[in-house]
Amino acid sequence: MQWFVGAAKKIGSAVSLSDYCLAPPSKGFWNDEIIQENPSLRGSGLRLTTRDIRGPSDVAWDLWDLPGSPVSVVALAVDNGAIQPGTAVDLRPHVAKKTLRWQAPVGTWKLVVIYPETIYWSLDPMNPLAGKKVVEKLFRRFEEHCPGESGKGLNFFFSDELDLGINGEWMGGTLWSAGVAEEFRKRKRYDLSPELAALFMDIGPRTPKVRLDYRDVMVALSEENYFRPLFQWNFDHGMLYGCDHGYRGNNVVEFGDYYRTQRGCSARATTRRG
């Protein structure tokens, strides 16, 4: 690499770099190193399990077999097969040692338990360390091996087909991270947990609001903690930063919000057809 940069400079050329096929976790490169050094940087997706009950009855539900600790446990009243708006009962206070014990009132109820499941080969873009670690393990190494060449002998970094192992969670709106609940409370001024079921089912008139608020926070954290630090490092070092990601804008919910997350790129591939 050092020789190539030097040889290119002799003929008045600069070198650009691409991460095509290298970035996805499990490929043996920088993202693997990051999550192996700090396993808490693995991404998670929300999963749910439900149980239908009829009250009055004593509920005892063992949650030990779930791969993650529940982040939402609610009971939703059901009438004629439809969830009744505004009836959610927050059952988190009734969970002790991963066992739910609750005295269900008269009626039909849907118990909903939502929990995060860690995706082993993945990187969590919402983690405050995510972008910083990619800069450390990827970009900065080129700068160290070719000192003074950023923006000169090295002038362009191209991110191609970005896949952090959680792309489906991004698009599906089920990406989760340890700090999301608290960040949501700070930014939206209400507790997400009792209404988290809205990401999976219609819980009434507030369903669209909860989904939009959640996606807004998810995308904001992804942008602030992953995309922006990468864009900023390249900009500060005089590098163009380009991309040719996935659907190239044809799927607006890619990365949660394609245009919002990619707005820092200084170069972009156009849609290919045919």
Mean pLDDT of 133-147: 95
Mean pLDDT of 79-107: 95
Contact 35, 25 (CB under 8 A): yes
* Rounded percentage of the chain residues whose pLDDT exceeds 70: 97
**Is the pLDDT score of 271 beyond 80?**
no
Residue 149, pLDDT above cutoff 60? yes
Number of neighbours of residue 8 by Cβ within 10 angstroms: 15
Predicted confidence (pLDDT) at residue 265 exceeds the cutoff of 80: yes
Q: Give the position of tokens 């700068």.
A: 143
| Residue pLDDT, tens place only, 10-60 | 999 999 999 998 999 999 999 999 999 999 999 999 999 999 999 999 999
Q: What is the pLDDT of residue 249?
A: 78
Q: How much is the mean pLDDT over the chain?
A: 93
Inter-axis angle of helices 180-188 and 207-222, nearest 10 = 110
Cα Rg of the chain (Å, integer): 23
Q: What's the mean pLDDT in 117-137?
A: 97
Do you know the residue count of the chain? Answer: 274
Confidence of residue 274 (pLDDT cuts 50, 70, 90): very low
Alpha carbon distances (Å) from 25 to 3, 93, 108: 29, 37, 44
Terminus-to-terminus CA distance in the chain, angstroms? 35
Closest CA to 162 of 236, 222, 213, 239: 222
pTM (two decimals): 0.92
Averaged pLDDT for residues 180-184: 97
Task: Indicate if the pLDDT at residue 5 is higher than 60.
Answer: yes
